[in-house]
Structure 1
Amino acid sequence: MSAQYEVLQVESLTGYVVGSLPVTGISYSETRNAAGACTVGIPLGAADPETLVPGRSALVVTRDDEPVWGGLLWTASADLAGGTLSLNASGWHSYYAGRVLHDGYTGSKDQASLLSDWYAACNVDGGISTDTSQVRARGQVRTRSWTKYELKPVSDAISELAEDEGGFSFRYETYWVDSTHVGNRVLISDPGGNAMPYPLTHTVNCNVTQVAYDATAMATRVYAVGADNGDGSKLVGIADNATLTGVMPTKHAVQTFSDVKATQPLIDKAAAIALAGRAPIAIPTLTLYPGQYNPTAFHPGDSGPVQVDSGYVRVLDDFVITERKTDVDTNGTEATSLSLANKELFTSAD
């Protein structure tokens, strides 16, 4: 029996469920350390333009009455000839691209405490009430400092903290607060630290449709360039990939972080970039066999073994899920694809 899907129209500010939308198709995705997206088609006459308003409304997708995706409605496209309305939403994290630390911020504390501070600053000022109760201390102290004049976007602050060496994976979960309201919470985990529920093997329980190999990010030395010292010089953090010296031609990577004002965070960033540049990235894309698994059991940030033996492609390694995308047709039939990347890109060397 197919899962029963529903798309709820929600007030983004309060989480109040306005009602259910009659859909002609659903496509939703979760992306590691990013917002994810959802596109929904509805009949043109099915929505009330007074209540369904981009920027003010949110969409929540439920599967057998349980929320599996939520985010803000940012754009809508009406096809008058076809009589349809396409709704385009981005996950809850997209909201924080439009919030800045307008009072500035200075803190040196555990990563979890930094996150809690930033969400709290947004929640008390007309925010979307993101719950941080499940964000636990990680034993990773970081320092961040921005003046009020820098107007640091909160989404950038969160993403940059997550991508530091010793960083984390984050995602958002939508849940029922009560029978008429939904909420959203942020969850964090070690990069690749949560195990996928099942190992995935090509032609056994999934179909690996593509494997891409990319050496663009490989580097023998990485420079992370920070803020100007005021005399024309800039702070720089450096990290080397010693195992690549003499194996490949010298190759440098330079990234700029103009708002970083201390050397240690730049060294951390350089080390994280160097870690990702130790080897070519293998990027498999696969589809789960229909009806075999609940697709929501696979979360971005989870990791596990993937096996492929097909000509040039000989893979038996652990991969991290970077995106999960599910398409649902009018019959409720699900088609779920996973995008993955080598686990070692997300875990520090000993």
Structure 2
Amino acid sequence: MADYRILLSEFKTGKVLAEIPASDLQYRSVLSAPGAARVQVPLTAKPLEGLDWSLISPWRTLVHVQRGPLILWAGPLVSWDVDMASEMMTMDLIGLWGYYRRCIINRESPRSDIGYVVNQVGQHVIARELIQLYGDYSADLGGNYWRSNGPDSLTFDMNYPAGKLRDRTYLWYEWKNLGEAIEQLAAVIDGFDFRIDHRRPGTGKIVNDFVFLPQGGTPTSFILEHGVNCDVTRVTSDGAQMCTETGVNGTGEGWGQLKTWWYNGGLEAEAGRRIPRLAAIETHNSVSEYNTAAAQAWRLAAVGQTPMTVPEVRLHPGGDVSAGNLRVGHIVRVRARLAAWPGVEGDYIVQEIDTRVTGSGEETTLSLVPVSIYKRVDGLEAGDGDPGKSRKE
């Protein structure tokens, strides 16, 4: 573990407070989700002498994984346990985004005295404002306004485009989960992906950057070839999410409920790929806007238009592609063949990076999804009346 350092910082300020030794480390980054990590700390190690043990306290401390000059992962300490026989402490951590899943939209905002209400505002602006208003102690967003006592953990690229215009209503008394709201805002057709990057600019603090990513991945030149710089340990093709008919239920009940559903007729009829009718229905009780419900139904159709053919990839240690230069959201090309089987070759989005580090070396595995699941489905037909109409009377 010579290339790795484990740093502790104060959650509320980002100030680096200490460095601790580790004998075993596993950390997982996940696109648009928190990820997790586990660190084993030998309690007999000399660097622990004089450590302020009050720092090893859940939610007070952020733990950062540094590899060479790069900080690859960070998140709050959630729990620890000590095995007295082995004299080993195990620290369990959740990725920094996990904190925002513990926040709620529960106050009025500069935009509305009934919560957070916007019409035709860029989706990236909505996400940033929600985080700053209800998760972080932020720069003033309008007048003398009550702000959360959050950690001010995230920075944003204020020059980033505002993104696709959206309408959103989060009433304060509904106590909508903040992390869920942003994940749902992101996970529709023409939405976005995101991750949190970390850097140490030399100020004694570690900075956490919220990064908006294009939905469908960020192109790279990385090629992962079985037997060359990686091992493709398995390839699976799963049709569990395939569908030709998609529907989303929103607010309301019975005939008054918001409903939108769509058909992918080509998938049922075209020679060479036709399958029987398969339905996929979801209910989102907080959705009151038709366009939001329709975007979620279109996303179901996009995911469901092909089987999910996915290779499992384990990187070769010391290869030209490693945990140090890959990020979730990157697009990589994967090639894997066998003598009598054509195998797979295609572009995949890195959804998860899982790295295990021990005294004997480093092992990194990737979870991938095909780029094709983000491609818009042409020729969808409205399931009730003309496109653009809902069942809500």
Assess same fold via TM > 0.5: yes
- Aligned residue pair count: 347
CA deviations 1:248-289 (Å, max 9, x no partner) are 221111111110111110000000011000111012111111
Please report how far the alpha carbon of residue 300 of structure 1 lies from its aligned counterpart in structure 2 after TM superposition. 1.1
Structure 1 letter corresponding to 2:325 = A
For normalisation by structure 1, the TM-score amounts to 0.93
SS state of the match for residue 195, structure 1? strand
Equivalent pairs: percent with the same residue?
26
SS state of the match for residue 98, structure 1? coil
Unaligned runs of 5+ in 2: 108-114, 138-147, 379-393
CA contact (8 A) 1:3 1:64 kept: no
CA contact (8 A) 2:301 2:377 kept: no
CA deviations 1:115-172 (Å, max 9, x no partner) are 1111211222222321112672254111110111111111101111111101112000
- Of 364, 382, 386 in structure 2, the residue corresponding to residue 336 of structure 1 is 364
Whole-Å separation in 2 of the counterparts to 1:251 and 1:9: 50
State the match for 2:260 in structure 1: 237
Please report how far the alpha carbon of residue 298 of structure 1 lies from its aligned counterpart in structure 2 after TM superposition. 1.3
Please report how far the alpha carbon of residue 240 of structure 1 lies from its aligned counterpart in structure 2 after TM superposition. 2.0
Whole-Å separation in 2 of the counterparts to 1:285 and 1:134: 37
Please give the root-mean-square deviation of Cα atoms over the aligned residues, in Å.
1.9
Unaligned runs of 5+ in 1: none
Structure 2 letter corresponding to 1:18 = L
Structure 2 letter corresponding to 1:142 = R
Q: Does 1:263 align with 2:290?
A: yes
CA contact (8 A) 2:125 2:162 kept: no
State the match for 1:190 in structure 2: 214
State the match for 2:155 in structure 1: 131
How do 1:87-98 and structure 2 match up within 5 A? 87-98=91-102
Please report how far the alpha carbon of residue 37 of structure 1 lies from its aligned counterpart in structure 2 after TM superposition. 1.1
CA contact (8 A) 1:8 1:17 kept: yes
State the match for 1:35 in structure 2: 34
- Of 118, 124, 130 in structure 2, the residue corresponding to residue 112 of structure 1 is 124
State the match for 1:23 in structure 2: 22
Whole-Å separation in 1 of the counterparts to 2:90 and 2:52: 14
Please report how far the alpha carbon of residue 228 of structure 1 lies from its aligned counterpart in structure 2 after TM superposition. 1.0
CA deviations 1:96-122 (Å, max 9, x no partner) are 011111122111311111111112112
- Of 278, 286, 311 in structure 1, the residue corresponding to residue 305 of structure 2 is 278
Q: Does 1:216 align with 2:240?
A: yes
Whole-Å separation in 2 of the counterparts to 1:92 and 1:345: 27
- Of 45, 54, 57 in structure 2, the residue corresponding to residue 53 of structure 1 is 57
Structure 2 letter corresponding to 1:128 = P
State the match for 2:179 in structure 1: 155
Structure 1 letter corresponding to 2:268 = T
Relative to structure 1, the CA distance from residue 58 to residue 133 in structure 2 (aligned partners, 3 Å threshold; closer, same or farther) is same
CA contact (8 A) 1:5 1:65 kept: no
Q: Does 1:145 align with 2:181?
A: no
Whole-Å separation in 1 of the counterparts to 2:264 and 2:230: 35
Q: Does 1:299 align with 2:321?
A: no
- Of 325, 347, 361 in structure 2, the residue corresponding to residue 318 of structure 1 is 347
SS state of the match for residue 73, structure 2? strand
Whole-Å separation in 2 of the counterparts to 1:135 and 1:323: 28
Structure 1 letter corresponding to 2:225 = T
CA contact (8 A) 1:39 1:87 kept: yes
Larger radius of gyration: 2
CA contact (8 A) 1:6 1:65 kept: no
